Structure 1
Amino acid sequence: MPKIQNKTEKPREPDDDYEVVSFEEYCDKPADAKSDLLSLNDNINYRIYYESLKMPKDGSGSAVEEIYDREIEGQKETSLNGQKDAPYTKLPFAPFGKSGNKFRASLFSGIIPKPRSDGESSRELRYQRFSQRRSSLQRFWEQIKSICPGMLGVGLVCVLCVAVWLVVGGALGGAWTEDKYRKLWERVHPENTEKPMTYYEMIVPEIHYHDHNNLSTKNKVNGSETAKKATFDSDEKYQRQMRPKPIQVPTKDDHDTGAKYLERTPEMLQKMCAQVTDDNMRFDCFPQDGSNEEDCLKRGCCWKLTSVPGAPYCFYPPQYDSYTFLNMTERKRGITAYYTLNRPSGYPGDFQQVCLDIMFVSGDIIQIKITDAQNKRFEPSYPELPMGYGSLKKMTYKVIVDSSSIGFKVVRLSDNVTLFNTQNIGGLILSDKFLQLSAVLPTDTLYGLGERRTRFKTDLKTRQTFTLFNYDQPPMENINLYGTQPFYMALEPSGKSHGMLLINSNAIDIVLQPTPGITYRTIGGILKFYMFLGPSPSDVTSQLANVLSTPFMPPYWALGFHLCKYNYGSLQVTRDVWKSNRDAGIPLDVQWNDLDYMKDGNDFTYDNVKFKDLPRFVKELHGVGMHYVVLMDPGVSAAEKPGTYPPFDRGLEMDVFIKNSTGQPFVGKVWNRVSTVWPDFTHPNASAYWTEMLSNFHKKIPFDGVWIDMNEPSNFVSGSLYGQCAPEDLPYKPHYIGKEGLRHKTLCMDAVHAAGSHYNLHNVHAIFEAASTYYAMAAIRGTRPFIISRATFPWMRKFAGHWSGDVASEWHDLRMSIPELLSFSIFGIPMMGTDICGFRGNTTVELCKRWMQVGAFYPFSRNHNSDTSMPQDPVSMGPEVVAASRTALRMRYSLLPYYYTLFWKAHMHGDLVARPLLFEDPSDVTTHDIDEQFMIGPYLLISPILWQGATTARAYFPGKQPWYNLADGKLLSTGGWRNVTDGQMIAVKGGGILTLQEPPEGVVSTSLCRSRPFQLLAAPDRAGRASAALYWDDGTNLSTYDESKYSIVNFTLDKQEFKSTIQSWAYGMPPVNKVTILGQKYSVKNVTLNQALCKKPVCEFTYSSKTQMLVVYNLMLLLNEPIHIQWTIQDKMPKVGTK
């Protein structure tokens, strides 16, 4: 039998386990108390158990049965020891009292304490039962003697009688006031809190407090089982609600682990299976191959054929009895429930006892953790999750845990919609290498759950299973890709939304079905979820940022255009491509090199023949305000001559490489000529090692950013180059993994890291590498790091951006780039893009032109392709692509102040940079399916042409606000569908104000643009209003925020008045030389600037009735002073007015 783990001052006897507490302590004990409050029945029951152990037994255990066979007043009691007749008389007084100094409890505690000496520890808890062989008067007299030895007077008896009366009446020192009785009554009778307090004899058989120490499970009153339910509502009050358990399930004794599980009868199972009438409600009970009726029934599941595609033949019955409720504890910030294994799951290593711990992180965030209560299991150290708590004053949910069922459900309070219900849904399976949890959802519309090639919206109308396990795989449908992002956002038809994040670094299968339902399966670790209550999609992503932190703030130059190709062949070709595109007027900021710059494919080297002058070239880039990014794979060559390759030599000295099962460095093969080892980024020395290697290389090549590739980690051999991997021995094989198992194209699962096995750490390898790279670059350069990573995991947002890998030069891949961008936006990685024009295969002029037109507006904009593909930089593709690229990229560069402000908002608040249209109006169900358009921030809509041979795109304009064409300022739409040309693909939403910087003619880079004057473009909504903010700093400083070296200016438009206000000013901004107001239907008569009439030489304006634009220009307005522009209108609108 488990014991309460009290900290004692001296060794205890086996039965010194219980704590008798006063009523005040029972009602008011703090939530973080280390001991638990138990009922009177529990105390007595516990004592009986130990007394029975001390009694002599014959072979049949008759001594115990003799005690259990006694029946007094028909009162039944159930604990983990089984149902038994209570060997005590129903007590005629309240069971709680105030503790005294000399005794452990007062007369009215319901337990007779033994006297203790002055030196005896107060934590030694010894009690004795009421004896059946003594009269009530004898027991009362013994109490008097135990309380006051030698002071047996009539006066004291009278005093005690008066005290009894006062306690019963509720007047003894305020301890038993009406409020206290009502408080106790409400704990016991939540369904009838209005009922006046009655006599205390009603309390004894019904009080049953949650038992954290697994000593008792249920109350049975008069043979009928009742269930306790704990809820948490918006008033932060706790309730206990009693309702009959629908089906009584046989359970095994928690203290007899060898007890045989009693199977349900075929009749009972058949009756339960018949309750599943809809085949879409079937949750798969036998996900392995080779299911059959016999094995299915052995698992206690239902077997029935079906014609519904994908529906399982073997499925769980309602209330599948894998676990049995033990007990539950409520606290201010959550609920903890314990369960014991009820039946074998069919998978080895079942958790014998399970802890369900639900923590209310804030009023709109919940943490749900399901663990092995007896054994510590692996949990990834990344992401670092918040330790603090938010306010619970505005609760948006309640969580229900019910002793009559396994699991929990989360209910949104505003409309009482159940958002996530696991109670008796599917089968809760918790074993060493297979963990499973199923839930019913309120909607069949989900987004997220990556990385995978799919439409943005995941439709649950058909069953689908997909795997999340980092894998070096070019993007294609129905297979796991480079990263693991186990986060979904659900969207209901009403527009309300919630999100769910699973923190687990093992391989994961996600099963979606039309119930609508979801099943999580993972092969290790624990189940740790964070739920985000929204209710809007933007609320969900902001709440996600509160848990995972906000994205890193990129340097300003990283928002420019990037150019790369695998295997330029030489530095001369690299320089020629860079120079030709720059001279052609292609806005360009960053030149990259793939691994062909390395010597023999080795990290931290460069080819001193083909790339001999690389250091000089990088300095040349810096001299014209441009930047350079290098590729850095995690694999280090293991076959160089000793003393010739410091990355390997130093790695051995610092003992930082991943080990094999024998303790030697694990050896595989990637781009290095012979063999490869991998740094263990969880090792205490790894960060110092990686910083040293990058620093030494940076002294040779002063690169500005790092591209970390192949970091799933990828391996050209499946497992070890030398020797064999240990058998993976998986009772459940994830749905999509390589033919050789988990080790396919990666390391052996038994490879050893400092933080554990590769089996547990595979999916987080990249995030440890990204963190080490980020901090190394910050130390080396002293400015904001810029890192792009192929593999991802939650929390990658803090260190790196992402690109979608080796996409093909196909129209389908062009279209799929937008769902990928949108998915990673909601994952919280805003620095995201796809290789423009495609990576694999040869592009075409038309495809590359269309891809450059949309790729120019990806947050991360880079043209890159493989060594076997034709050159595809704009100049190499010819004049048509050059013209389209130059136009699109010049527009992007003009918008960079807007982009930069969006990245600042993402960094500070978790806002999205690229976002789906559904964020504009979640209640507009048309937007729920759109993934061939996307928004940049709240005010720019990108509607590209994505189909071969098309000259227009079918575009949807959400909401009822006006939309203006950014290219010419004309009104484009007031909502709904319309066709747009490539000259109309960028629309500005009414209600926004854009800060622009027109690029110079000729060569264009961010360093040249940042010094250009600002231009403000105001797009009024239907009410004639608009607003926006501009954030500005030096674009590179790491400590901008800590040192407050930034400026924020707010702009507002209210009909015929435009203003600026200064929110913060600590860094200078360029002046404003033009203000454009769109949507002006009436001719403008005159304009005033800061209360003075607008006239030359400091101000001019034009108005066009054709475009309905007012342009105030020839300005030189400093933003550290307020701007105030007003205008008056004429009754008639001339065709063109100029003044």
Structure 2
Amino acid sequence: YLHSNILKVQVLSSFYTITLCRMQPHRHPLPAPGSQTPDSLVGTGVNDTAAASRRVACGVIPEAWRFDCYPERGAVVTRELCEARSCCFIPASSRPAGRNGIPWCFYPRDFPSYSLVSMNDTSTGQKGTLVREVKTYYPADVLTLEVEIRHETDTRLRVRITDPSSPRFEVPISVPAATEKADSPAYVVELSRRPFGLIVKRRSTGVVLLNTTVAPLFYADQFLQMSTSLQSRFIYGLGEHRSAFLHDLQWNTLTMWARDVPPTEQTNLYGAHPFYLAMEDGGDAHGFFLLNSNAMDVVLQPAPALTWRTIGGILDFYVFLGPDPASVIGQYVEVIGNPSMPIYWALGYHLCRWGYNTSNSTWEVVKRLRNYGIPQDVQWNDIDYMDRFLDFTLDPTKFATLPDLVKDLHAHDQRYVMILDPGISSVQPEGAYWPYDEGLRRDVFIKDAEGKPLIGKVWPGLTAYPDFSDDVTHDWWFDNLQRFHEKVPFDGLWIDMNEPSNFLDGSTDGCPSNSLENPPYTPGILGGLLRAKTLCASAQQKQSIHYNMHSLYGLMEAKASASALKRILAKRPFGMYSGHWLGDNRSQWKDLYTSIAGILTFNLLGIPLVGADICGFSEEPQEELCVRWTQLGAFYPFARNHNAIVMKPQDPTAFGPLARKAMKEALLLRYSLFPILYTLFHHAHVHGHTVARPLMFEFPKDVRTYGIDKQFLWGRSLLVTPVLDPGVDYVDGYFPEGLWYDYYTGDSLLSAGEDLRLQAPLDKINLHLREGSISPTQAPNLTLWVSSGQPLHLVSALSDDGSASGDLFWDDGESIDAYENDLYSYIVFDRNVTEALKLVSNVEATYITVETASFYGVKQKPGRVLVNSQDATFTYRDNQVLTVGDLGLNLSRNFTISWM
């Protein structure tokens, strides 16, 4: 907290506060035109006596509020088919119909749904019974349901709708459970009895956050559907999809079912994350999480409204009240688990490609980067290193020197990561391939419907798939990794192809013809079948059938891998279990742009260690594109350059002198900012914060920020404005209201909330510091281990009143649970803290010193600068930048810098 002209530093073991602001009330009217209304207004019977009258009633429902009654893909919907479902049929005023258009067949207001027939209090809320009197058109309707409403915390509401007569699949992950009802919830829950519906409002403003009365509830064996109105059109999350950061609500269907496919619009991709963040009028935010792993569609429509449509499991969902966006994410990760603190070198520059061909050619690239002084922390290998693409093997000819390469990397404080695919070759001679033989002996492989190991096809050829839902498989996986680590002492794993990917549809023997493989409703999956390029839905795993477990496969492999690495290396993994990269992108400018939405979305989803393949994976890299991508990639939380086989090399040494120099400077800039990045990951680990952050998180009342995905923040203070177009030497960026400083020069920029054009020659990415921040930086070196030992330079971007603050988290960079075991230092930089300052924890920061400090926005040249009351030398530039050097201040002690 800054005033006058004094900077003080405080060293603490923990320091964090959140200020919550109550906004002015903005009530959201219930969507009467297209909604079902409570029983006092509408009955639940279907009136078929007057078709003409019904069509008139259907006609009053506005197009934006039409909820699709015939969502099956490829169906040619006629009036007869539609009205056979007791639904309205009106061709829309614009085409197309169906997946990306206004539905022609939609529910009337009186379509039969469930009624709430009883409700009783429980220790955490209420529990009631729902009854449906009329069957629907999907088979195996569950006519009696149990609904449980849990007021878990003041900002977290949980609702479970289950079948009390028969257990159904539930996602097998541990989530926190409340034992008593929240004292002062920030929400109000209202119930509609006939038809049943939930209305959730924000207590402080009356804003409706959830209203499920807008369309009928479905709960059949293989079809569950629930709709809700949305408070605004500002919806984010719902990963993993290639799209803008802000979702399009113009009849947009997002499908979730993990799939190995290059990022493509309107396609289900690698991950499934059924969580959205919604901004409200006035700047509040809330979140919604559906704890369901089955194949699903999420339909967004312009009412605004949203429909969840899933083909299994239960309806188990959370509403998070925030009220600010950052708090929503913090409350969400309290449920799914906070990200772990990554090992320090995971935040360095990673280099990989498919097609190094030999360990010696891999080694040569590493040496070239060293010779040019380009920083690199980690070298990776794709499947080239394997013997015939077999997991846990080494090509004895082409990669014979790989152990020596890894030894050399370690000698230079660098690390090695290798790829592993889950598919285990099933066709090697008995006794020739231990992973398969031992896997058979321990019974670790997924089985087909007849109980035999399911055989698909991936890189080695015919393969079996480990069942990571079984603890026995975890032990087998560890044993394989440990055996290979004795040959090649790798430092991390790249687990790929774990959707799981299959070059066949299902298996070598096909799949059974049953309702698991061909459900009554199939979401909009690429290929049209659940088994498309993956395993049979009817395949058997220990915890359930693959139909239920498919989208959990990568998570469970990550858990097994992280556990094994902790046992082998006794060091941290990359994240909670792993980080994430955004898949096989293309070397195109559009992919450069969409990568920003990808990293912002995954930060919302609780996976902050995320990045895209720098320069693009497929297609030939262009020099200008690769320079601009390296500049942007230097600000991905996870920064890896990776490209495909037969493509030209695209590491920085592969280009001309000017491009190489620009890439080198971008990477050195990242390394100099490592203290900031590492501290941000600490806050992600402890508080669930984002690292790469949307502007709206810091400026939630500025609606102009809601759709921005060409810029982003690191934390709250560092604004990144990359060039995303070819052939330009400028970039346009939006600057929210306030005072901003050019990171490089300290030049100030006072914005009223406006777009500004910035100069951006090929060797520059624009960075700006937000007023009121103090940022610790370091002199960069070729690895983070060396860089992290360099003296600090503090950059203080002063507010108009001269205030600023910042912080620094520091530990040894690799110990498991360093924070939890108090093996860290946490330093707070403030101005004019008058209370007594005391060192509480000081473990690894004793050797770090502050060598220089710069102050942006010092309005007058000082006559004297004092460091701990002693005169110090300084410089002052006309752009109001004060720099103090030769400080030599150790972070184990409090210090004060002042001027007059």
**CA–CA distance in structure 2, aligned partners of residues 984 and 965 of structure 1:** 11
Q: In 1, are the aligned partners of 2:44 and 2:113 still within 8 Å (CA)? A: no
Letter in 1 for 2:651: D
Alignment of 1:886-965 (within 5 A): 886-960=664-738, 962-965=739-742
**CA–CA distance in structure 1, aligned partners of residues 300 and 581 of structure 2:** 26
TM-score, with structure 1 as normaliser: 0.73
Letter in 2 for 1:609: T
Over the matched positions of the two proteins, sequence identity in percent amounts to: 41
Alignment of 1:516-595 (within 5 A): 516-595=304-383
**CA–CA distance in structure 1, aligned partners of residues 80 and 118 of structure 2:** 34
Pairwise CA distance, 1:390: 8.2
**CA–CA distance in structure 1, aligned partners of residues 536 and 393 of structure 2:** 28
Q: Relative to structure 1, is the Cα distance of residues 835 and 1061 closer, same or farther in structure 2, using a 3 angstrom cutoff?
A: farther
Alignment of 1:716-755 (within 5 A): 716-727=503-514, 728-739=517-528, 741-755=529-543
Residue 890 of structure 2 aligns to a residue in which SS?
Answer: coil
Letter in 2 for 1:300: S
Q: In 1, are the aligned partners of 2:584 and 2:617 still within 8 Å (CA)? A: yes
Pairwise CA distance, 1:272: 8.7
Aligned to 1:441: 230
1:635-665 deviation digits (Å, cap 9, x = unpaired): 1111111111111011011100000111111
Pairwise CA distance, 1:1115: 1.4
User: Structure 1 residue aligned with 2:757, among 936, 955, 979?
Assistant: 979
Aligned to 2:50: 266
Alignment of 1:109-128 (within 5 A): none
Aligned to 1:296: 82
Mind listing any 5+ residue stretches in structure 2 that lack a counterpart?
Answer: 1-37, 96-100
> CA-atom RMSD, angstroms?
2.0
**CA–CA distance in structure 2, aligned partners of residues 458 and 737 of structure 1:** 20
Aligned to 1:1064: 841
Aligned to 1:642: 430
Pairwise CA distance, 1:1042: 3.5
Aligned to 2:876: 1103
Letter in 1 for 2:245: F
Task: Please state if 1:327 is matched with 2:118.
Answer: yes
1:90-138 deviation digits (Å, cap 9, x = unpaired): xxxxxxxxxxxxxxxxxxxxxxxxxxxxxxxxxxxxxxxxxxxxxxxxx
Alignment of 1:465-864 (within 5 A): 465-672=253-460, 674-727=461-514, 728-739=517-528, 741-786=529-574, 798-864=576-642
Letter in 2 for 1:722: D
1:457-486 deviation digits (Å, cap 9, x = unpaired): 0132x1111211100110111111111111
User: Structure 2 residue aligned with 1:428, among 208, 214, 217?
Assistant: 217
Mind listing any 5+ residue stretches in structure 1 that lack a counterpart?
Answer: 1-242, 251-261, 787-796, 1095-1099, 1129-1139
Pairwise CA distance, 1:274: 4.4
Letter in 2 for 1:683: D
Q: In 2, are the aligned partners of 1:1049 and 1:1064 still within 8 Å (CA)? A: no
Residue 669 of structure 1 aligns to a residue in which SS?
Answer: strand
Residue 458 of structure 1 aligns to a residue in which SS?
Answer: coil
Residue 357 of structure 2 aligns to a residue in which SS?
Answer: coil
Q: Which has the larger radius of gyration?
A: 1
Pairwise CA distance, 1:1065: 2.3
Aligned to 2:41: 246
Structure 1's consecutive aligned runs of 4 or more residues displaced over 6 angstroms after TM superposition are: 1057-1061
Residue 1067 of structure 1 aligns to a residue in which SS?
Answer: coil
**CA–CA distance in structure 2, aligned partners of residues 953 and 643 of structure 1:** 61
**CA–CA distance in structure 2, aligned partners of residues 837 and 893 of structure 1:** 19
**CA–CA distance in structure 2, aligned partners of residues 665 and 296 of structure 1:** 43
Q: Relative to structure 1, is the Cα distance of residues 910 and 452 closer, same or farther in structure 2, using a 3 angstrom cutoff?
A: same
Pairwise CA distance, 1:402: 2.4
Residue 845 of structure 2 aligns to a residue in which SS?
Answer: coil
Aligned to 1:230: none
Aligned to 2:793: 1015
**CA–CA distance in structure 2, aligned partners of residues 998 and 1067 of structure 1:** 18
User: Structure 1 residue aligned with 2:894, among 1122, 1129, 1136?
Assistant: 1122
Q: In 2, are the aligned partners of 1:1049 and 1:1060 still within 8 Å (CA)? A: no
**CA–CA distance in structure 2, aligned partners of residues 349 and 1076 of structure 1:** 69
TM-score, with structure 2 as normaliser: 0.92
**CA–CA distance in structure 1, aligned partners of residues 815 and 807 of structure 2:** 21
1:893-925 deviation digits (Å, cap 9, x = unpaired): 011011000001000010100011111201111
Letter in 1 for 2:314: I
Q: In 2, are the aligned partners of 1:1024 and 1:1054 still within 8 Å (CA)? A: no
Pairwise CA distance, 1:263: 5.8
User: Structure 2 residue aligned with 1:381, among 172, 178, 191?
Assistant: 172
Pairwise CA distance, 1:729: 2.5
Pairwise CA distance, 1:357: 1.4
Residue 407 of structure 1 aligns to a residue in which SS?
Answer: strand
Letter in 1 for 2:109: P
1:46-101 deviation digits (Å, cap 9, x = unpaired): xxxxxxxxxxxxxxxxxxxxxxxxxxxxxxxxxxxxxxxxxxxxxxxxxxxxxxxx
Letter in 2 for 1:344: K
Aligned to 2:98: none
Aligned to 2:884: 1112
User: Structure 2 residue aligned with 1:341, among 123, 132, 144?
Assistant: 132
Q: Which structure has more RCO (C-alpha within 8 Å, separation ≥ 6)?
A: 2
User: Structure 1 residue aligned with 2:241, among 452, 459, 470?
Assistant: 452
1:1095-1128 deviation digits (Å, cap 9, x = unpaired): xxxxx211112x3111111111111111111100
Q: In 1, are the aligned partners of 2:631 and 2:765 still within 8 Å (CA)? A: no
Letter in 2 for 1:988: L
Residue 277 of structure 2 aligns to a residue in which SS?
Answer: strand
**CA–CA distance in structure 1, aligned partners of residues 279 and 581 of structure 2:** 26
Pairwise CA distance, 1:270: 1.8
**CA–CA distance in structure 2, aligned partners of residues 269 and 654 of structure 1:** 67
Pairwise CA distance, 1:320: 2.4
Q: Relative to structure 1, is the Cα distance of residues 1068 and 964 closer, same or farther in structure 2, using a 3 angstrom cutoff?
A: same
Alignment of 1:181-220 (within 5 A): none
Q: In 2, are the aligned partners of 1:1020 and 1:1026 still within 8 Å (CA)? A: yes
User: Structure 2 residue aligned with 1:282, among 50, 63, 66?
Assistant: 66
**CA–CA distance in structure 2, aligned partners of residues 1011 and 390 of structure 1:** 49
**CA–CA distance in structure 2, aligned partners of residues 407 and 1007 of structure 1:** 56
**CA–CA distance in structure 2, aligned partners of residues 287 and 244 of structure 1:** 27
Comparing 706-715 with 524-533, greater Cα deviation is found at: 524-533
Residue 903 of structure 1 aligns to a residue in which SS?
Answer: helix
Q: In 1, are the aligned partners of 2:135 and 2:143 still within 8 Å (CA)? A: no
**CA–CA distance in structure 2, aligned partners of residues 456 and 708 of structure 1:** 26
Aligned to 1:44: none
Give the length in aligned residue pairs: 850
**CA–CA distance in structure 1, aligned partners of residues 44 and 755 of structure 2:** 57
1:303-325 deviation digits (Å, cap 9, x = unpaired): 22321442222211224223233
1:795-820 deviation digits (Å, cap 9, x = unpaired): xx621110111000001111111011
Aligned to 1:414: 204
Residue 706 of structure 2 aligns to a residue in which SS?
Answer: helix
1:139-182 deviation digits (Å, cap 9, x = unpaired): xxxxxxxxxxxxxxxxxxxxxxxxxxxxxxxxxxxxxxxxxxxx
**CA–CA distance in structure 2, aligned partners of residues 369 and 577 of structure 1:** 54
1:1045-1087 deviation digits (Å, cap 9, x = unpaired): 11111101359x9998645323334111111111112011001
Pairwise CA distance, 1:373: 2.3
Alignment of 1:52-201 (within 5 A): none
Pairwise CA distance, 1:886: 1.1
Residue 888 of structure 1 aligns to a residue in which SS?
Answer: helix
